[in-house]
Amino acid sequence: MNQTIHQSPTLVGTVVLPGDKSVALRSALFAALGEGASQVVNYPTSADPQSMLSCLRQLGVEIEEEDGILYIEGVGLHGLKAPDAPIDCGNSGTAMRLLAGVLAGQPFESTLVGDASLSSRPMARIANPLREMGAEIAMTNGFAPLHIRGNPILQGITYRLPMASAQVKSCVLLAGLYAAGETTVIEPTRTRNHTEQMLGLDHVDIGTDRYLTIQQGQRIPAQTYSVPRDFSAAAFFLVAGTIAPQAIIDLPSVGLNPSRSALLDVLRLMGADIAIENERERGGELLGELTIRSSKLHGVRIDGDIIPNLIDEIPILAVAATCAEGRTEIREAEELRVKETDRIDAMVKNLRALGAEVEEFDDGLAINGGAPLKGATVPSYDDHRIAMAMGVAGLVAEGSTTITDADAANVTFPDFWEQLKRCAAQD
């Protein structure tokens, strides 16, 4: 399905965002491994969270869904059942990598598969530590399908993350639930902290390294999980409300976990007008009400430790940069090349197609802002964040912009197009 967005100086409205993908997937998984009946409030209907549910059902977990609340009958750490077919993670790298950690410690064999995009994303990054712990993992050239011969007595290890990845960190920590003694992950650069926060793990910082440790058999109590509204979905409206010349957008109850919200700081540094009200905590996650108004932006350079904190927001930040005065350079972001698509390549090509002045680097991109954008037809590369970023670019590009395979947005934000068009009065 294609979507066409027309240039729109005005953007007004309140957008109720979907639940956070990272918290949702973890809530469902931890509830499944928990001891007894848990609930998950505000569980999203989007494709990635639904993929996690179908994986868990294949592993024998009973899940009911009613009015946006999940009722999950936890089976405990040792209650999963051997699946009778390959487990399909769809487009979700988080589902595949977190489940692999759990399956590595089971007394049965399993196979994890995914769609074409997920089958071309690197899995050696999890196979290496899991093998070190004693699991047998077979892949094809480092890609899924992932055949896992679980080992119920894994060995605890101390593992220094070779790349900044919350998925790899979480995979190793979850395998640690099944590993003799304790398992420690050393994180040289901070990534999103949902796993350690939700499992109540302590950390110790030594210099710039963070040590996270999990004990074998740590029990997960049954509980009510609450999924905040997704900051990474908010990002599209943070930028849309900033770059549309006459905009005011309200985003209620957005998750503001500090390990996820660096885009706010960067946009403010660029000159954006974003107000946060009623900051509060729910279920260990910070929430707030956001109001965004049109602003003039100027370019920035970002690199280093901040990158993992806004890695998913870089495609939409690149769109903001096209409207900023001066140069924006984003470096040390090579992880973007192994997301749902190569997001550096995709954004460089798509923004150039709209007439932006863009330079490509192995580890990022630079944009000389200010060149007026012109509508064109651009592909989504079957990547939700590329589809939505280009939709927002369409608001400021002269004429009309068509995004092909725009339903990729369903992976995290099923009513994105409806909401964007409503705010731009294009519905």
Decide: 425 and 8 in contact? Cβ < 8 Å: yes
Window contacting ligand S3P (CB under 6 A); options: 38-46, 164-172, 177-185, 362-370 = 164-172
Candidates 219, 319, 222, 200; CA nearest to 267 is 319
Structure tokens at 409: 């947005």
Smallest distance, Å, CB 1 to ligand S3P? 23
Residue span 292-321 as binding mask against ligand S3P, x where in contact by CB under 6 A, dash where not: -------------------xx---------
The beta strands (E) that lie in 240-356 are given as: 246-255, 273-282, 285-293, 301-302, 326-330
Decide: 130 and 178 in contact? Cβ < 8 Å: no
Decide: 86 and 111 in contact? Cβ < 8 Å: yes
For 69-133, the DSSP string reads EEEEE---TT-----SS-EE-TT-HHHHHHHHHHHTTSSSEEEEE--TTGGGS--HHHHHHHHHT
Q: Does 22 bind ligand S3P (CB under 6 A)?
A: yes
Instruction: State which of residues 88, 335, 383, 407 lies at the interface with ligand S3P (CB under 6 A).
Output: 335
Structure tokens at 330: 């984003």
Smallest distance, Å, CB 42 to ligand S3P? 16
| DSSP letter assigned to residue 239 | H
Strand partners, 75: none
Between 109 and 209, CB nearer to ligand S3P: 209
Active site residue 383: no
Applying the rule CB under 6 A, the residues between 206 and 225 that interact with ligand S3P are: none
Between 88 and 312, CB nearer to ligand S3P: 312
Q: Does 167 bind ligand S3P (CB under 6 A)?
A: yes
Q: Does 91 bind ligand S3P (CB under 6 A)?
A: no
Decide: 251 and 234 in contact? Cβ < 8 Å: yes
Between 26 and 368, CB nearer to ligand S3P: 26
Single out the catalytic residue among 20, 88, 230, 312: 312
Instruction: State which of residues 8, 38, 58, 165 lies at the interface with ligand S3P (CB under 6 A).
Output: 165
Q: Does 230 bind ligand S3P (CB under 6 A)?
A: no
Instruction: State which of residues 52, 166, 310, 386 lies at the interface with ligand S3P (CB under 6 A).
Output: 166
Rounded Cα distance between 406 and 383, Å, is 9
| DSSP letter assigned to residue 199 | H
CB-closest chain residue to ligand S3P:
22
Report strand pairing: 87-88 vs 109-113: parallel
Between 196 and 407, CB nearer to ligand S3P: 196
Smallest distance, Å, CB 60 to ligand S3P? 24
Rounded Cα distance between 104 and 110, Å, is 9
Number of residues that bind ligand S3P (CB under 6 A): 11
- Burial level of 111, CB count in 10 A (0-12/13-18/19+)? middle
Structure tokens at 16: 């109720």
Window contacting ligand S3P (CB under 6 A); options: 74-82, 128-136, 165-173, 367-375 = 165-173
Window contacting ligand S3P (CB under 6 A); options: 50-58, 166-174, 207-215, 322-330 = 166-174
Structure tokens at 109: 């064999």
Between 125 and 401, CB nearer to ligand S3P: 125
Residue 238 to residues 146, 226, 229, 232, 427: CA-CA distances in angstroms? 37, 23, 14, 10, 20
Between 311 and 320, CB nearer to ligand S3P: 311
Structure tokens at 58: 């294949």
The alpha carbon of 256 is separated from its chain's Cα centroid by a whole number of angstroms, namely 14
Instruction: State which of residues 190, 192, 343, 384 lies at the interface with ligand S3P (CB under 6 A).
Output: 192
Q: Does 92 bind ligand S3P (CB under 6 A)?
A: no
* Residues noted as catalytic: 312
Residues near ligand S3P (CB under 6 A) are: 22, 94, 165-167, 170, 191-192, 311-312, 335
